[in-house]
């Protein structure tokens, strides 16, 4: 192996090693703005095939570090042997690495297609590939690059127009500009005449980052929303910290319910809404009359409706049973005010894709109570908050259950349907003491910003907490502790550009990429200029 190729591999590995540090638990978000620079430096004047493999190497290493928690979920709770768990992890991350490989190939291709200026459009390919990852094979948009900035409130406000994909676009553009500047500067140190300064790319990156920062500062001042009617509600969330190993143990059922009772009581009677986590009840709520009465008594004591997760049992037309992963809104009078059924299920966790035909030999990778069916969609629930001035108008909210919150368009539909704030309930106990709970929580921040709606999050083992409409974390709990948190949240309907129009920016990037591909396919190549022999006189 020659030195140039060895250096390329080393740089590609460096980018891969840096990527996990951009996300929780490490949380070095600033690193994201330079993490891809080494990879981009390797993509100068190399064949497309090598560019793909270098990008694939970066992506595989990066996603292996980001998603190492997959092994914990499979070995600890799915009882999958450790060697098989690592093999599945590597298979998954090798697949995810393909997206970075395709991006790297596109960078080299754009340089050949439109010399000097084509590289400006490379971030469109990154965004298009992130959008593809969101939907292809059920979708796995875990830790898109833009999520690394969840603590940089000013810079992520552009998500209210462009979604998380807009933040990813900006990060990739800056990485690309820095790499091009470094490549331009290298001849200075080698004693060569430098190539032409890539001022177009550098200027574009500086301009867009500056505009994004100023826009974020303006939005977080709330000046654009001063005329929007709003109300304030008090929401409490309960984190019971029930060990996953005993969650469905009949012998531990009473202890589980006693823990919910105690924590709900700690919130007091001043709540407008109390939120319990996903699958809070270790039984099918509709089939347990005694526990229904007990829950109603607790809601009456809290003087507030309780939102709680519980499986719902239903039957096909041939009387075969099936389950829904549901969230029930229970009133203090003991009535079910509404129910939301999880729409986007976790493949291999809540169901086996193609189980009846192709994958009949597989079982779920995590233990549970059976396979689930998908619910109908983004149902909005409502309740009447407390008011000293008589009956208050009902407040509408949407509930995203667990994995659903990582899908931007799915959450957006709640806002489109009239939600004034959002709730997510989850059981992250499957992840153990890994980086996944913090990564999962970070993604909720971007959902708040995209729709400018407050979020309440209740997680069985953590992280529970509250996020304001601009992505600021108001409160959060520690992992594997019991907690009862409360906060005052804004309820309103700002209907952002993203809420109204969805991922038009990302699909615009797809359109640009498609047009570039058509241009590359059909462009007329210039004929080679012939050479004329000169005969000496």
Q: Alpha-carbon distance 71 to 21, whole Å? A: 19
Which residues are tagged catalytic?
Answer: 278, 342, 402
Q: Which residue has the tokens 């529970």?
A: 464
Is the pTM of the predicted complex or chain greater than 0.85? yes
How far is C-alpha 424 from the geometric centre of its chain's CA atoms? 13
| Check whether domain 230-310+324-343+372-493 has CATH 3.60.110.10, yes or no | yes
Strand partners, 238: 484
Of 496, 470, 334, 407, the closest CA to residue 139 belongs to 407
Cα angle for residues 270, 275, 281 (degrees, 5° grid):
130
C-beta contacts of 344-347 below 8 A and 24+ residues apart: 344/139, 344/374, 344/403, 344/404, 344/407, 344/410, 345/372, 345/373, 345/374, 345/403, 346/402, 346/403, 347/138
Q: Which residue has the tokens 């981009």?
A: 40
How far is C-alpha 434 from the geometric centre of its chain's CA atoms? 17
Q: Alpha-carbon distance 516 to 522, whole Å? A: 10
Name the H helices within 30-81: 32-35, 37-42, 48-66, 69-72
Both tokens assigned to 436: 């996944």
The pLDDT of residue 384: 92
Sequence ranges of the domains in the chain: 3-224+503-522, 230-310+324-343+372-493
The pLDDT of residue 351: 62
Cα angle for residues 457, 458, 460 (degrees, 5° grid):
145
Q: Alpha-carbon distance 55 to 16, whole Å? A: 9
Length of the chain, please? 537
Helix axes 82-113, 122-135, angle to 10 degrees: 150
Sign of CA dihedral 470, 474, 477, 483: negative
**pLDDT 10s per residue in the chain (537 long)?**
688 899 999 999 999 999 999 999 899 999 999 999 999 999 988 999 999 999 999 999 999 999 999 998 888 877 789 999 999 999 999 999 999 999 999 999 999 999 889 999 999 999 999 999 999 988 999 999 999 999 999 999 999 999 999 999 999 999 999 999 998 887 765 555 556 778 899 999 999 999 999 999 999 999 889 899 999 999 999 999 998 778 778 888 889 999 999 999 999 999 999 999 998 998 888 888 888 889 999 999 999 999 999 999 888 888 888 889 999 999 988 889 999 999 988 877 666 665 544 444 445 444 444 578 888 888 999 999 987 666 678 999 999 999 999 999 999 999 999 999 999 999 998 888 899 999 999 999 999 999 999 999 999 999 999 999 999 999 999 999 999 999 999 999 999 999 999 999 999 999 999 999 999 988 755 544 444 444 444
């Amino acid at each position: 192996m020659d030195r140039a190729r060895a250096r390329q591999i080393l740089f590609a590995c460096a980018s891969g090693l840096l990527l996990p540090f951009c996300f929780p638990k490490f949380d070095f978000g600033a690193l994201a703005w330079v993490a891809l620079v080494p990879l981009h430096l390797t993509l100068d004047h190399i064949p497309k095939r090598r560019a793909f493999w270098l990008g694939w190497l970066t992506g595989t290493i990066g996603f292996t570090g980001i998603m190492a928690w997959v092994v914990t979920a499979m070995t600890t709770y799915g009882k999958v042997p450790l060697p098989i768990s690592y093999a599945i992890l590597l298979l998954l991350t090798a697949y995810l690495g393909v997206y970075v490989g395709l991006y790297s190939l596109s960078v080299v291709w754009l340089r050949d297609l439109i010399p000097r200026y084509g590289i400006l459009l490379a971030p469109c390919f990154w965004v298009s590939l992130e959008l593809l990852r969101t939907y292809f094979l059920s979708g796995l948009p875990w830790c898109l690059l833009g999520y690394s900035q969840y603590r940089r409130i000013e810079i992520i406000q552009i998500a209210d127009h462009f979604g998380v994909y807009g933040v990813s676009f900006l990060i990739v553009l800056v990485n690309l500009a820095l790499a091009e500047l470094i490549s331009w500067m290298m001849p200075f140190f080698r004693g060569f005449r430098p190539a032409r300064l890539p001022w177009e790319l550098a200027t574009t990156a500086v301009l867009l980052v500056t505009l994004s920062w100023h826009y974020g500062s303006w939005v977080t001042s709330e000046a654009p929303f001063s005329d929007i009617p709003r109300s304030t509600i008090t929401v409490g969330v309960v984190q019971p910290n029930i060990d996953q190993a005993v969650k469905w143990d009949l012998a531990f059922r009473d202890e589980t319910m006693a823990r919910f009772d105690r924590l709900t009581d700690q919130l007091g009677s001043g709540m407008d809404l109390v939120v319990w986590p996903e699958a809070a009840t270790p039984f099918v709520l509709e089939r347990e009359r005694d526990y229904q009465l007990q829950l109603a008594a607790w809601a009456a004591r809290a003087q507030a409706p309780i939102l709680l997760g519980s499986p719902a049992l239903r039957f096909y037309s041939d009387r075969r049973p099936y389950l829904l992963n549901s969230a029930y809104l229970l009133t203090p009078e003991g009535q079910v005010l509404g129910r939301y059924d999880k729409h986007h299920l976790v493949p291999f966790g809540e169901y086996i894709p193609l189980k009846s035909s192709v994958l009949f030999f597989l079982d779920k990778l995590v233990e549970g109570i059976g396979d689930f069916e998908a619910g109908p969609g983004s149902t909005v629930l409502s309740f009447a908050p407390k008011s000293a001035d008589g009956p208050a108008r009902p407040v509408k909210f949407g509930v995203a259950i667990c994995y659903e919150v990582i899908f931007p368009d799915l959450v957006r539909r709640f806002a489109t349907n009239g939600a004034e704030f959002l709730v997510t309930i989850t059981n992250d106990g499957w992840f153990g003491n890994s980086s996944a709970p913090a990564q999962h929580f970070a993604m909720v921040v971007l959902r708040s910003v995209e729709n400018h709606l407050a979020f309440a999050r209740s997680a069985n083992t953590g992280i529970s907490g509250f996020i304001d409409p601009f992505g600021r974390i108001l409160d959060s709990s520690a992992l594997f502790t019991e907690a009862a948190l409360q906060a005052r949240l804004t309820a309103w309907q700002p209907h952002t550009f993203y809420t109204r129009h969805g991922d038009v920016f990302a699909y615009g990037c797809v359109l640009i990429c498609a047009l570039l591909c058509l241009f590359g396919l059909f462009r007329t190549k210039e004929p080679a200029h012939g050479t004329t022999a000169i005969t000496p006189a």
